[in-house]
């Protein structure tokens, strides 16, 4: 159901299969004793079937404002009133996400005209814009994401109010917005996601610390960000790992650079200036989207390394090569060179410096660095919601 039926009909491989059922989570647990019940706002059962994790959701009923469900200014905080399959379809976000595959008959069940919308590549919100975006403002971002990911076009009743509703995102828990930006930018259509966010006027709400662009809700997209998003899409396409740390480094680079330059002009040393500017940029961003510390720590290292790359004289420069985040810092330097050709000699220096270095052997002899070897947990796993 939901996203998986949509992806199958589009000929794309679904990331995951979600199951919807009339059974309550407790009844699901009775049949599958090894399943776990999760979630608060939206209770689900996680069932393991031969190693795969399957999300099983009970059909949700329609929401009405005089319902006793928890809500805050129209935002639904708890959504655990059960209903029929048709009601469940109607409380999904977009029609193309509301298709069900009946496992017994093999039929597609469509209560909202999602099939026709899909064949005509149309994104259509179910119900009234004001109400449905208010209920869950993340749907604004999901609209942008599906435009980017699926190449669908929103109809007028789906798109018109998005720019004016953007401020609703300010009330969404920051952790959820972090998950969303990872889905927007780290799943292979990052450039198109940014285009869609710009078009819908959602960028400034999501990235309040970035310089404003021309047009409401638009940010100024710097070359480093543009280059990084393109590069990230390519890495996803070729199966290489991507990390939120690098993405955040590129997203916030412009304010970091501008602020640190201002501090340098005021007499601060380059390293201290960069450190303070980093701190400010990250603090501003975490007001809107959480950034787990394991990522922001790496982001800071990437930025600070940009100052350290300049020190190519003497004996100490070589140490940098063995640092845990050298490669990420170096890749970031390459992204910057696309904006600033004067960095080319520095890029050449550090490219050459890596030749003939046996990282494995040298790390093995140096206990301090060996401990710092990159660990897999910093690599981003595919988002698990679904």
The residue of the chain with the least Cβ separation from ligand ATP equals 3
Nearer to ligand ATP, 149 or 227 (CB): 149
Question: Binding partner of residue 97 among Mg ion, ligand ATP, none, CB under 5 to 8 Å per kind?
Answer: ligand ATP
Number of residues that bind Mg ion (CB under 5 A): 2
| Segment near Mg ion (CB under 5 A); pick from 2-10, 229-237, 316-324, 333-341 | 2-10
The question of whether 79 is a catalytic residue gets the answer: no
Q: For residues 133 and 350, which CB has a smaller minimum distance to ligand ATP in the complex?
A: 133
All residues at 6 or more sequence positions from 319 whose CB lies less than 8 Å from its CB, including other chains: none
CB 110 within 8 A of CB 104: no
CB of 13 to Mg ion, least distance (A): 12
Pair type for strands 122-123 and 100-101: unpaired
233 is catalytic: no
d(CA 118, CA 85): 20
Task: Return the number of other C-beta atoms located less than 10 Å from residue 197's C-beta.
Answer: 28
Among 110, 117, 136, 180, binds ligand ATP (CB under 6 A): 136
**Residue 98 touches which member of ligand ATP, Mg ion, none, C-beta under 5-8 Å by kind:** ligand ATP
Our CB check for ligand ATP shows the closer of 124 and 183 to be 183
Q: What single-letter DSSP state applies at residue 259?
A: H
Coil vs helix vs strand at 368: helix
Burial class (CB in 10 A: 0-12, 13-18, 19+), 250: buried
* Residue 231 near ligand ATP by CB under 6 A: no
In the complex, what is the shortest distance from the CB of residue 14 to Mg ion, in angstroms, rounded to a whole number? 7
Name which of 93 and 117 has its Cβ closer to Mg ion.
Answer: 93
Pairing of strands 36-38, 44-49: antiparallel
Indicate which single residue of 1, 3, 182, 301 sits in contact with Mg ion (rule: CB under 5 A). Answer: 3
For CA atoms 313, 315, 318, 324, the dihedral sign is: negative
Least Å from the CB of residue 345 to ligand ATP: 43
> CB-wise, 126 or 275, nearer to Mg ion?
126
Quick one: which H or E segment has residue 76?
A: strand 75-76
Catalytic pick from 16, 155, 331, 362? Answer: 16
**Residue 3 within binding range of ligand ATP, rule CB under 6 A:** yes
In angstroms, what CA-CA distances link 304 with 64, 298, 318, 321? 52, 10, 16, 14
Cα-based distances in Å from 259 to 178, 264, 329: 24, 9, 20
- In whole angstroms, the minimum distance from the beta carbon of 168 to ligand ATP comes to 13
Is there binding between residue 139 and ligand ATP (CB under 6 A)? yes
Longest dimension (CA), the chain: 74
Distances (CA, A) of 295 to 83, 106, 286, 291: 40, 43, 12, 7
Q: Which two tokens stand for residue 267?
A: 């007499």
In the region spanning residues 327 to 386, those forming contacts with Mg ion, defined by CB under 5 A, are 386
Residues 93-112 that bind ligand ATP (CB under 6 A): 93, 97-98
Which among 18, 155, 331, 362 is annotated as catalytic? 18
**Residue 18 annotated among the catalytic residues of the structure:** yes
d(CA 149, CA 165): 22
Q: Which of residues 35-94 bind ligand ATP (CB under 6 A)?
A: 92-93
Contacting positions for ligand ATP (CB under 6 A): 2-3, 15, 18, 92-93, 97-98, 136, 138-139, 183, 385-386
- The catalytic residue positions are 16, 18, 93
Which residues lie near Mg ion (CB under 5 A)? 3, 386
């Amino acid at each position: 159901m939901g996203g998986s039926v949509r992806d199958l009909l589009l000929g794309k491989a679904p990331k995951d299969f979600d199951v919807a059922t009339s059974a309550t989570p407790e009844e699901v647990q009775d049949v599958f004793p090894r399943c776990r019940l999760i979630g608060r706002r939206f209770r689900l059962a996680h069932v393991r079937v031969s190693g795969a994790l399957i999300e099983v959701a009970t059909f949700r009923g329609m929401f009405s404002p005089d319902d006793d469900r928890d809500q805050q200014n129209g935002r639904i905080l708890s959504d655990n009133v059960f209903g029929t399959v048709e009601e469940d379809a109607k409380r999904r976000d977009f029609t193309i996400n509301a298709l069900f595959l009946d496992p017994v008959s093999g039929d597609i069940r469509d209560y909202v005209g999602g099939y026709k919308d899909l064949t005509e590549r149309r994104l259509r919100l179910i119900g009234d814009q004001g109400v449905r975006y208010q209920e869950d403002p993340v749907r604004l971002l999901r609209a942008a994401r599906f435009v980017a990911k699926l190449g669908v076009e929103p109809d007028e009743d789906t798109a018109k109010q998005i720019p004016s509703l953007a401020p609703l995102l300010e009330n969404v828990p920051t952790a959820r917005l972090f998950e969303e930006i990872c889905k927007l930018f780290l799943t292979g259509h990052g450039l198109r996601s940014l285009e869609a966010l710009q078009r819908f006027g959602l960028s400034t709400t999501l990235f309040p610390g970035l310089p404003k662009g021309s047009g409401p809700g638009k940010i100024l997209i710097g070359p480093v960000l543009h280059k990084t998003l393109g590069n990230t899409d390519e890495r996803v396409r070729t199966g290489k790992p991507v990390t939120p740390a690098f993405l955040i480094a590129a997203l916030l680079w412009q304010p970091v650079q501008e602020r640190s330059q201002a501090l340098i002009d005021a007499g601060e040393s380059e390293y201290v200036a960069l450190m303070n500017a980093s701190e400010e940029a990250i603090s501003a961003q975490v007001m809107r989207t959480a950034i787990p510390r394991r990522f922001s720590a790496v982001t800071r290292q990437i930025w600070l390394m940009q100052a350290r790359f300049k020190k190519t004289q003497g004996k100490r420069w070589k140490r940098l090569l063995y640092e845990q985040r050298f490669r990420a810092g170096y890749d970031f330097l390459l992204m910057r060179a696309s904006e600033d050709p004067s960095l080319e000699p520095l890029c050449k220096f550090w490219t050459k410096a890596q030749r003939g270095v046996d990282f494995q052997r040298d790390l093995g002899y140096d206990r301090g660095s060996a401990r710092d070897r990159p660990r897999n947990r910093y690599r981003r796993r595919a988002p698990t919601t679904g």
